[in-house]
Amino acid sequence: MSGKTALQIVVAVLAATPVLVGLEGVLSGPDFLDVAASWPIDLDSHFRFLSGFFLAIGIAWYSCIPDIETKTERFRLLAACTFAGGLARLVSLFAAGLPSRGHVAGLSIELLAVPALVWWQSRVANKAAENAQLSGA
């Protein structure tokens, strides 16, 4: 399996989380988190908005998979958005305390795995550019 194919598979697997969790958040609101249903309407609205954004980012990650070696700018923009979300989650960790395991896993992916994916995609893109140059394309 090539590095490109492996990267495509990893991105496909990881992008499933924001798609599925975002969709569930849009449909269920904060109730999705198994919390008592006494939140203000504005919190419900904000939660669903952010869930929609999370869903859109997941779909956008899928748009990088075909020809992933040519999608560097999009890949890095999505990575920056995801990393920024991880930084916000880190602020929450320090301000409000340790969240559930699922949120800690998300934090780890956002702050550790995503930068590694950017590095990996860069290597795949550079290799593809070198191969194209050697073949005279």
| Residue 36 scores a pLDDT above 80 | no
| Residue 134 scores a pLDDT above 70 | yes
Q: How far apart are CA 124 and CA 118, in angstroms?
A: 10
Q: And the tokens for 122?
A: 């860069």
Q: And the tokens for 107?
A: 């934090």
137 band by pLDDT with thresholds 50, 70 and 90:
low
- For 97, phi then psi, to 5°, come to 115, 180
C-alpha pair distances (Å), 18 with each of 22, 58, 108: 5, 5, 14
Q: What is the pLDDT of residues 80-127, one digit of tens each?
A: 999 999 999 999 999 999 999 999 999 999 999 999 999 999 999 999
Q: And the tokens for 108?
A: 């780890």
